[in-house]
Amino acid sequence: LYKNEYKNSSWASLMNDRLSMSMSLLKEDGVKTVAIDDSEVTNLSLIMEEVAPEHTLSRITVIHNPKGSITRNFNRTHEYALFLTRTGLSGSIARTLEENKTPRKMRRWGENSKRIDRPLSFYPIYIKGGKVVDVGSVPDSDFHPVAKNILTSDGVIQVWPIDQDGIERRWNFGLDSIRENLERIAAIEANGTWDLFVTHEQSVPKTVWSGGEYDAGKYGNSLLIDLLGEKRFDFPKSINLVKKCISLATQNQSNSVVLDYFAGSGTTGHAVIDLIRQAERENQEAKLSFILVEQGEYFATVTKPRVLKAAFSDEWKGGKCKNLNAGISSCFKVMKLESYEDALNNLEFTQHKTDLFDNTPELKDDYMLNYMLDVESRGSLLSTDDFKKPFDYTMKIAVDSAGAFEEQKVDLVETFNYLIGLTVKYIDAQPERGFVTVTGTLPSNETCLVLWRDCERIDYEDLNRLCDKLALNPADNEFDVIYINGDHNIPTVLTQTAEEGGNTRVLKLRQIEPEFLERMFAEENV
């Protein structure tokens, strides 16, 4: 759990461990970015360079508090955005757009500017009502437009890269890149003729970011209060700062996954949702997704409701929605991981040795650590009996930091999917009828079916009927591996007759219980 009040060494240790582990999750061309203030920027910079020696660290100064916060000698107005990019890999950070004071023509001129020099850059651009509406295709080499501007019957004007002398030139952008640059292009009319101009230039991002959009007071604190209706979180980041960091790091690439393992108030999730909404409004596809990790109790009161509200609308005031038509299609999965405290709350001991230590108290600690927690509590967290009714399994789950807990259901089905590394394709959840089936692919590329059942509701005969329905038998089975809980008498071997070929077919059937317990309680890196 991130704590601002940690002393330097404790905070540095916390960050070092998490940054080191997270590097294995970063793609070859992935980017890691961190927003940090003056207090720990020096220590964090050293840690990031140490855990990622094959990466280059860049430090951006962000003016996030224009009014400033008075320190002993200076009025501090800034924080930092740190970026880790792989050394030697160019183009990891997206280019930014800066407005041209004097827009330049999109049509090439001078050397290598003719159609014949680059035929794929000769095509029409359609404008209507003074705006670019579409892009045409490259014509055959023997086609020659009759004019620079051609008016069609539906009022659309074709604009070709032809100069004032009638020479066929070419555009600055090829057909393969023009669509992603349309936001930089404007149609301008002069002397009755339409031409196209580049209004913004792509440039490498500068190392100082300033502007009202980075104001953490307005676009961090006030925005969150408007969303939730009251102040529930201190010092949230400016959403515009986070959006810019994400945009630069992902370059609007499809299927980019943004991971924030210090989610805090949920600014990162909110930022991704806003970027998706922005892309949809511009008729673009933004295949961004995010994973947030948070341990603080405010997850339920701040992080989660913020993300849900952000997806529902982008306009809130006093906790109430101001625009009911601004939602985006979204799907969220919330997973709560068992904590150390949860494990302790569920330990149950089979014997009591209090009398033994009355005369030998020095043995007590050794006994508790090496025997009691291992042997006497064995099976209290999860035993094979719990798998007989897997949909009713509960644990005592902590609900606050004071030690209070309550019985809550635990999803053994979902847990097992993660334990075996199953890429889920389909889930047929019918717990009211006593079973759940999950199909997917294992890391070994084997197709897999996991069959969970309530053993008290689905006995041997019911199970056989269910297996017949699912075609789970050596003759017809379509899966490489099948997992099932509880005892059963499902046939696993079929030997064909000589007329049928004489082959032996085997149903690869595994018990869930030993696989689950072995993977769940395996001791790694001890």
pLDDT band at 357 (very low <50, low <70, confident <90, very high): low
Instruction: Judge whether 171 and 184 are in contact, CB under 8 Å.
Output: no
Q: Which residues pair with 290 in a beta bridge?
A: 258
479 neighbors 505 (Cβ within 8 angstroms) = no
Question: How many percent of the chain have pLDDT more than 70?
Answer: 85
What integer is the mean pLDDT of 392-405?
78
Is residue 134 pLDDT above 70, yes or no?
yes
Q: What are the pLDDT digits (tens) for 17-32?
A: 999 999 999 998 899 9
Strands 447-453 and 435-441: antiparallel
What is the pTM (predicted TM-score) of this model?
A: 0.76
pLDDT band for position 68 (cuts 50, 70, 90):
confident
Is pLDDT of 141 > 50?
yes
| Residue 377, pLDDT score | 46
| pLDDT score recorded for residue 150 | 94
The DSSP string of 339-369 is PHHHHHHT---S---GGGGTS-GGGHHHHII
Q: How far apart are CA 44 and CA 51, in angstroms?
A: 11
pLDDT at site 504? 63
First to last CA, the chain: 23
Q: Are 474 and 468 in contact (CB under 8 A)?
A: no
The hierarchical CATH code for the domain 8-93+207-321 is 3.40.50.150
Task: Answer yes or no: is pLDDT of 67 > 90.
Answer: no
8 A C-beta contact, residue 480 and residue 446:
yes
Backbone angles phi, psi at 487, to 5 degrees: -70, 155
CA atoms of 227 and 305, how far apart (whole Å) = 9
Instruction: Using the structure block, give the residue that is written with the tokens 């393992």.
Output: 261
- Which residues are 22's β-sheet partners? none
What is the rounded CA–CA span in Å between residue 353 and residue 367?
A: 9
Q: How is the chain split into domains, by residue range? A: 8-93+207-321, 96-203, 340-406, 413-520
Mean pLDDT of 218-223: 96
> Could you tell me the pLDDT band of residue 371, with boundaries at 50, 70 and 90?
very low
d(CA 438, CA 448): 8
Residues 6+ positions from 89 with CB-CB distance below 8 Å: 28, 29
**Which two three-digit tokens encode residue 93?**
């950070």
Q: What are the structure tokens assigned to 489, written together? A: 């008498």
* Per-residue confidence (pLDDT) for residue 364, from 0 to 100: 55
